[in-house]
């Protein structure tokens, strides 16, 4: 038993000795872990493609990588620069940065505020551009250091500058084009107007001319009129691009404008074998520009006739609808592919159904229609089916007899259907 007790006491001494040495092993492990962490950090810094600097709260450099040394044109190793503190780094900024005082002053502000910042641009005298990020380092609520991250974004900035320069050149070319189109169109408009005028008044005995001469004069007049319409469209687009679209609003009856447009194009439709039907019996009062709205209606009716083959029909309907005036131009023409209908109002766009049939046009008519409608606070929609026809529906704000825009009246939930209808009729004044 005595021997057994002595063994137990010996084991106890060994266990206590082992516990006594255990704290030393923890210290060694912590030190090894710190050394491993430092090695990992150094490896990360050396492998980065951008510059990084870590300084402690007292301004001593704890880490700086070779990329930042290269960007700041600093000689020596990271250890050499770190041993000099922030002095060499600050001197590098003073030597190469365009606004050195601002760059260094901003850095000091960030240190004092200890607020993260991203994407600050630093321009250098040699044309290079660095982008700087800052983040404060904290432990237990105390600022322990500062982390600075620098990226060379010279190539990105140069590309952005070049793109901006190219965009400005394109804008200038576009302005020059618009000015040229406006100038040429204006110069063409005057002689074309004269030609058409002389064709009207210069040959009063046209019917007495031989057929070949009369046909020649008709051809001249038809093509001069077509060219004049093209010139007017180009002038309109040039004014639109220049922001000089002139709208002279006034109270008018759209029914009169529609009737005049239809009658003006009836002869052309009949010559093509297209019937034109119009329902404009109800007055439709709106506020708008008479000339522009006539252009809108002319374009829609002209298109309908142009894209409707012989034997087809064009129907123009105008009606009052609550607080709006609705114009519908429907044809039994070639129709438009559903996939192309959302592009109809784009400038110079022409549907495949028109180009494959070699129907002449510029693709400006509907773009002008949309611009005029927008200028009158209206809307337009189209429904179409290839081989069946198309319907263009224009909605414009109506005005009441006293000249004010009609408003749908408000009603109570308890009002009957009859009371609501009566309120609408009275509010519309129709």
Q: On the CB side of 133, how many CA atoms lie within 13 Å of its CA?
A: 10
Instruction: Report yes or no on 406 lying in a domain.
Output: no
Residue 117 sits in the same domain as residue 216: no
How far CA 131 is from CA of 34, 145, 154, 215, in Å, comes to 31, 20, 9, 75
Of 241, 265, 286, which residue sits at a domain end? 241
Cα 332 to Cα 352: distance, rounded to the nearest angstrom: 17
Taken as a whole, the chain contains a residue count of 430
In a domain, 12, yes or no: no
Identify the DSSP state of 167: H
Q: What is the pTM of this model?
A: 0.53
Whole-angstrom CA distances from 270 to 211, 219, 275, 295, 358 are 20, 17, 6, 21, 21
pLDDT at position 365, please? 86
Give the helix/strand (H/E) hosting 134.
strand 129-139
Residues 276 and 206 in one domain: no
pLDDT at residue number 401? 59
Cα(354)–Cα(231) distance, integer angstroms: 21
Exposed, middle or buried, 367 (CB in 10 Å: 0-12/13-18/19+)?
Answer: buried
CATH number of the structural domain spanning residue 165:
1.10.287
Question: Residue 173 is part of which domain span?
Answer: 158-241
How many domains is the chain built from?
A: 3
Is 411 contained in some domain? no
The answer to whether residues 115 and 46 belong to one domain is yes
Same domain (yes/no): 176, 226: yes
pLDDT in tens, 9-20: 433 332 233 334
Is residue 179 located within the same domain as residue 116? no
CATH number for the domain spanning 148: value is 3.30.450.20
**Cα 422 from chain centre:** 45
Does one domain contain both 71 and 99?
Answer: yes
Same domain membership, residue 388 and residue 260:
yes
In a domain, 417, yes or no: no
- CATH, residue 271: 3.30.565.10
Out of 152, 172, 207, a domain closes at 152
**Residues of the chain whose pLDDT is less than 70?**
1-43, 45-47, 185-186, 202-206, 400-430
Check residue 37 and give its pLDDT: 53
Cα(133)–Cα(68) distance, integer angstroms: 13
Give exposure, 328-347, as e/b (b: 16+ Cβ within 10 Å): bbbbbbbbbeeebbeebbee
Residues 285, 391 share a domain:
yes
The verdict on 131 and 162 lying in the same domain is: no
Instruction: Please check whether residue 7 lies inside any domain of the structure.
Output: no
> Is there a domain that residue 428 lies in?
no
Yes or no: say if 347 and 367 are a contact pair by the CB < 8 Å rule.
yes
Q: Of 93, 126, 152, which residue constitutes the final position of a domain? A: 152
Domain presence at residue 94:
yes
Are residues 258 and 391 located together in one domain of the fold? Answer: yes
pLDDT recorded at residue 135: 95
Same domain, 226 and 117: no
4 assigned to some structural domain: no
- Same domain assignment for residues 377 and 316: yes
């Amino acid at each position: 038993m005595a021997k057994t007790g002595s063994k137990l006491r010996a084991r106890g001494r060994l266990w206590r000795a082992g516990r006594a040495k255990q704290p030393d092993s923890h210290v060694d492990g912590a030190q090894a872990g710190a050394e491993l962490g430092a090695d990992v950090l150094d490896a990360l810094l050396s492998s980065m493609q951008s510059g990084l600097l870590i300084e402690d709260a007292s301004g001593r450099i704890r880490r700086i990588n070779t990329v930042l040394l290269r960007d700041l044109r600093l000689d020596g190793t990271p250890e050499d620069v770190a041993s000099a503190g922030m002095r060499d780094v600050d001197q590098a900024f003073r030597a190469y940065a365009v606004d050195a005082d601002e760059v260094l002053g901003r850095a000091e502000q960030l240190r004092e505020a200890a607020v993260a910042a991203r994407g600050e641009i630093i321009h250098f005298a040699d044309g290079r551009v660095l982008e700087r990020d800052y983040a404060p380092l904290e432990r237990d609520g105390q600022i322990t250091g500062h982390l600075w991250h620098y990226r060379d974004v010279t190539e990105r900035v140069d590309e952005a500058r070049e793109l901006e320069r190219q965009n400005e050149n394109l804008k200038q070319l576009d302005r020059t084009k618009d000015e040229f189109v406006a100038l040429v169109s204006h110069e063409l408009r005057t002689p074309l107007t004269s030609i058409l005028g002389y064709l009207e008044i210069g040959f009063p005995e046209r019917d007495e001319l031989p057929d070949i001469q009369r046909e020649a004069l008709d051809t001249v007049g038809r093509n001069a009129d077509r060219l004049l319409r093209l010139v007017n469209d180009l002038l309109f687009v040039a004014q639109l691009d220049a922001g000089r679209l002139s709208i002279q609003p006034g109270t008018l009856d759209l029914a009169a404008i529609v009737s005049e447009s239809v009658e003006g194009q009836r002869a052309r439709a009949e010559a093509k074998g297209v019937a034109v039907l119009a329902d404009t019996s109800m007055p439709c009062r709106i506020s708008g520009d008479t000339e522009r709205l006539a252009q809108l209606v002319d374009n829609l009716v002209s298109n309908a006739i142009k894209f409707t083959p012989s034997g087809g029909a064009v129907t123009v309907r105008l009606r009052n609808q609550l607080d709006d005036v609705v114009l519908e131009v429907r044809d039994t023409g070639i129709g438009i592919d559903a996939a192309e209908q959302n592009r109809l109002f784009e400038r110079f766009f022409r549907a495949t159904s028109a180009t494959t049939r070699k129907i002449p046009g510029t693709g400006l008519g509907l773009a002008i229609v949309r611009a005029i409608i927008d200028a009158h606070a209206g809307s337009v929609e189209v429904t179409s089916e290839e081989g069946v026809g198309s319907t263009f529906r224009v909605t414009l704000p109506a005005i009441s007899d006293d000249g004010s825009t009609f408003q749908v009246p408000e009603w109570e939930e308890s009002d009957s259907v009859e009371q609501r209808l009566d309120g609408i009729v009275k509010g519309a004044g129709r």
